[in-house]
Structure 1
Amino acid sequence: MNSVILLIIDGLGVGKRTQANPFLQVSTPTFDWLKSNFSYRALQASGIAVGLPWGDPGSSEVGHLTIGAGCAVYQNYPRITMAIRDGSFFDNPALMQACSYAKTKASRLHLIGLFSQSRTHASLDHFEALLKLAKQTGVVTVLVHAITDGKESMPQQAKILLEDAQRIMSRVGVGEFASIAGRYYAMDGNEYWDRTERYLNMLLQGERTCETYGAALDKAYSRKLTDEFIDPSLIAISGQTDGLRQVALGLSPDPSSALPIAITMPPNVRMVTMIQYDSGVAAPVAFTPPVINNTLSEILSKNNKRQLKLAESLKGQLVTYYFNGLRQEAFKNEYQIIIPSDKLFDFAKEYQLKTETLLDRFFSALDERIYDFICLNIANLDVAGHQPNMALAQQSIQYVDGVLNRICRQTLAAGASLIITSDHGNIEQMFDPVTGQSNTRHTDSPVPLWIVDKNEYRARTSQEIDQAEKEVSGSLADVKSMILDKMGIDQEKR
């Protein structure tokens, strides 16, 4: 049995034919060749098809989880929202523990969380519920440490989001902003501890004070920084210098973030997290993750198939933890190679990322012919889609088109089956075609799927290609079965 390769081109959606789509403005011979000669369809990668509310854009985490699980898994947003609606949120033991500690110790309750247009990691509805819970339990002082997005939100949306949060605090009657920082510092998931350390120093030692969150944003915007890169700044409010030496409660940062691990280190901190983070976080969890059985990786392992996961650390958790159904440990006969990413501040100078190193490892693995399944993630288009730079997006697309050419040629020569898809849309809409405003958020576009092997080769007409792009036929949850079918693993063995 020949091997099956799953190539996940992160952030690649099936875009509309508008000026906002950079694919229409550059030459893409490999993408065009795939559309014209191999099985091609569009898959749903957003909303209820991947366990999110209707119309919500997908994300890298959600997309990889859905592919690996082979089904839609309810994500954190709908799970927590349902708990708020049925009232169980306000009896949650972990949340009650945090509020009770703050009340009995006459200390402050600190809420640390992302403020974003995307509901994958954050929600103003959840923020309001936390404030109401604090007030109901008699907590007098709630200090809010705002993490600004700029990645899965519009580049400079923080002022509007924080104004909305301020209105919520006024309406509930509790809460005030105590600090602000961009997710580049507060939500680093690539083990760059200098970023996390800078944020923690601000929280614990009171560095870089400013008068208001608006002043911090104005200063950053004057330097042409987006919300992602807001300098960690303590907001000057009366008596706030004790930092986080009492209670910290995480709203919903990135599950791969180093912050929850770091923040449990100082003495006298009592931390509760809304969701499960890395296994190294020793803190009560309000909403534990669901148990996901029979993932693709688990089935392959039980059938004695050897599998390889390849990505750079920027996306490393996606092909391991999320793809494996929220499981940290590798399965039997599963090998994971995660290439350390460079520090990314100016993507324009490093748009190739670590793709060439990944390709070297991938082609070596292909030549070795010892793996039954290889999953490879390429991050370039997703990172480019988060930059408000059309020229850079076009350059990245042309680079990935060349990468794709090399992968297709060598996998076909090796007799392997290549399945190409994405986890969510992003780069296919670089700006709002109506307003012209830059769009650095994920989109709700479907994602492409190609099956590339000798059995799937057939010339397609332009009408067939148009039809494939206009009509969504399936979702990311279907990819698992396609792979198992290609590998000859029948239903009884799944």
Structure 2
Amino acid sequence: QSLQRINQAIETIENNANLQNFINDLKSKNGICHIMGLISDGGVHSHQKHISALANKISQRGIKVVIHAFLDGRDTLLNSGKRCIQEFTESIKENDIRIATVSGRYYAMDRDNRWERTIEAYEAIAFAKAPRYDDAVSLIDENYQNNITDEFIRPAIIGDYQGIKPEDGLLLANFRADRMIQLASICLGKAGYTEVAKFSSILSMMQYKADLKIPYLFPPESFANTLGQIIEDNKLRQLRIAETEKYAHVTFFFNCGREEPFSGEERILIPSPKVKTYDLQPKMSAFELTEELVKKIHSQEFALIVVNYANPDMVGHTGNIKAAEQAVLAVDDCLAKVLSVVKEVGNTALIVTADHGNVECMFDEENNTPHTAHTLNKVPFIISCENLKLRDGKLSDIAPTILQLLGLKKPNEMTGSSLIV
């Protein structure tokens, strides 16, 4: 939704009041604009066309622009970064814009409190503390020659870049919040990291987190009568449970960008394992999560429990098919335990579904490379209730189905229909 929203607005973004204030501040102080974002055409966390449009419009106002380019290789092909950087460079060549640093998203976009990764990216951006290369393509080529793919390229300085100065401004250009919060927190001195570069102004594409108090280009959209809201309105209790990597998905994202819990909403965070990549521990924290989940099902306190098993997505992103098999087997074992408890408790339905594919496609035959990105394959909708007939449908039909199971009325705002026939 954010992708389409920005696509429609980006060509007239110069009329945005917060962007105008940002530009005016930079012009008055003769500062440089530092744009940080994922140079990728994946469209999951950002889009390189948004970043080039912003850079060009700001540069055309007489402001020097430098780009801190994060590389993908996770929601895209492993080695698509070189092509994306070349396309991006071509799109900004008419203006005073250059790439200042390059970093794999593993460092710049961590969301699992691996602060040492975020700090390494930040120190390159803020203080030019990193190895130096003549240009971004030669850096990427060297990494490819050493079998290092886009996501894992260590932060590096390009050319003679010297860091952030007090008169400069920062523009954080990813539209998805979860993988920008740590970097934004360090920039603002809110992460316990003492050596922070001074800057004049800051702006983000979207609101990342309310208490960061960063001005943004696109305000949060308001959604009425979400599933969580309906549960609250009927004075029922609900539980959200996931390990670290997917905690935001069952809370912030599931609640349509709402940070605070609903009344009667309990949240449980299970720490994800501290490994470099999850193919090293494909079980992740699934069994620890299941242990807590089983207790909560036994309690019979909740009308709705939303749980996310991270393994198929997070291990799927590694491109390691052997690890992916172990990840799926682990989740299968966990679901067997959950189903057993659901049957034991009674009057309870287990629904298994997904919002996108990944682990079912682990190899890209066309390019002869591991496949690490999401897919557009149809996803399952499995329900444990007997004597129910289901139809095929779409993701927006799931909430109405849950409401029907709970005997609650579907609000007008929900455009889908129950999958129960």
- For the Cα contact (< 8 Å) 1:187–1:254, is it kept in 2? no
Once the 2 structures are TM-superposed, how far is the Cα of residue 120 of structure 1 from its aligned partner?
2.5
CA distance in 2, matches of 1:230, 1:242: 19
Once the 2 structures are TM-superposed, how far is the Cα of residue 188 of structure 1 from its aligned partner?
1.3
Partner of 1:174: 96
> Which region of structure 1 is more displaced relative to structure 2, 223-232 or 322-331?
223-232
- For the Cα contact (< 8 Å) 1:418–1:451, is it kept in 2? yes
CA distance in 1, matches of 2:74, 2:378: 20
Once the 2 structures are TM-superposed, how far is the Cα of residue 130 of structure 1 from its aligned partner?
0.9
The partner residue of 1:226 within 138, 149, 159 is 149
AA aligned to 2:362 is M
Asked whether 1:185 is paired with 2:116, we answer: no
Partner of 2:363: 431
CA distance in 2, matches of 1:120, 1:262: 23
- For the Cα contact (< 8 Å) 1:121–1:254, is it kept in 2? yes
Partner of 2:264: 333
Asked whether 1:473 is paired with 2:399, we answer: no
SS in 2 for 1:111: strand
* 1:160–1:203 CA distance, 2 compared to 1 (3 A): same
After TM superposition, the structure 1 = structure 2 runs for residues 124-135 of structure 1, keeping only pairs within 5 Å, are: 124-135=48-59
The alignment yields a C-alpha RMSD, in angstroms, of: 2.0
Partner of 1:199: 121
- For the Cα contact (< 8 Å) 2:44–2:75, is it kept in 1? no
Once the 2 structures are TM-superposed, how far is the Cα of residue 104 of structure 1 from its aligned partner?
1.9
CA offset digits 1:26-48 (Å, max 9, x no partner): xxxxxxxxxxxxxxxxxxxxxxx
Partner of 2:21: 97
Partner of 1:400: 331
Partner of 2:247: 316
Partner of 2:224: 293
Once the 2 structures are TM-superposed, how far is the Cα of residue 254 of structure 1 from its aligned partner?
4.0
CA distance in 1, matches of 2:21, 2:73: 32
CA distance in 2, matches of 1:333, 1:479: 21
Once the 2 structures are TM-superposed, how far is the Cα of residue 491 of structure 1 from its aligned partner?
4.3
Partner of 2:379: 447
CA distance in 1, matches of 2:365, 2:120: 38
SS in 2 for 1:161: helix
AA aligned to 1:476 is L
Once the 2 structures are TM-superposed, how far is the Cα of residue 159 of structure 1 from its aligned partner?
0.8
The partner residue of 1:421 within 348, 353, 361 is 353
Once the 2 structures are TM-superposed, how far is the Cα of residue 193 of structure 1 from its aligned partner?
1.8
AA aligned to 1:262 is I
Once the 2 structures are TM-superposed, how far is the Cα of residue 481 of structure 1 from its aligned partner?
0.7
AA aligned to 1:367 is H
CA offset digits 1:68-119 (Å, max 9, x no partner): xxxxxxx11111111134x2x1211112222222222112111111012311
The partner residue of 1:252 within 139, 151, 174 is 174
Partner of 2:419: none
CA distance in 1, matches of 2:219, 2:254: 18
SS in 2 for 1:473: coil
CA offset digits 1:11-68 (Å, max 9, x no partner): xxxxxxxxxxxxxxxxxxxxxxxxxxxxxxxxxxxxxxxxxxxxxxxxxxxxxxxxxx
SS in 2 for 1:376: strand
CA distance in 2, matches of 1:325, 1:244: 36
Query: Segments of 4+ in structure 1 off by > 3 A?
Result: 491-494
* 1:434–1:150 CA distance, 2 compared to 1 (3 A): closer
Partner of 1:243: 164
CA offset digits 1:282-303 (Å, max 9, x no partner): 2210011210111111110110
- For the Cα contact (< 8 Å) 1:303–1:493, is it kept in 2? no
Identity %: 29
After TM superposition, the structure 1 = structure 2 runs for residues 105-116 of structure 1, keeping only pairs within 5 Å, are: 105-116=29-40
AA aligned to 2:67 is V
Partner of 1:57: none
The partner residue of 2:319 within 360, 363, 388 is 388
* 1:156–1:344 CA distance, 2 compared to 1 (3 A): farther
CA distance in 2, matches of 1:254, 1:223: 31
* 1:454–1:414 CA distance, 2 compared to 1 (3 A): farther
Aligned residue pairs: how many? 401
* 1:271–1:451 CA distance, 2 compared to 1 (3 A): same
Partner of 2:140: 217
CA distance in 1, matches of 2:357, 2:37: 25
CA offset digits 1:357-405 (Å, max 9, x no partner): 1000011111111111111110100012111222222222222222222
Asked whether 1:306 is paired with 2:237, we answer: yes
Partner of 1:83: 9
After TM superposition, the structure 1 = structure 2 runs for residues 141-152 of structure 1, keeping only pairs within 5 Å, are: 141-152=64-75
CA distance in 2, matches of 1:219, 1:176: 20
TM-score relative to the length of structure 1: 0.77
* 1:380–1:148 CA distance, 2 compared to 1 (3 A): same
- For the Cα contact (< 8 Å) 2:73–2:150, is it kept in 1? yes
Q: Structure with the greater relative contact order (CA < 8 A, sep ≥ 6): 1 or 2?
A: 1
Partner of 2:406: 487
Gaps of 5+ in 2: 190-195, 414-421
- For the Cα contact (< 8 Å) 1:264–1:271, is it kept in 2? no
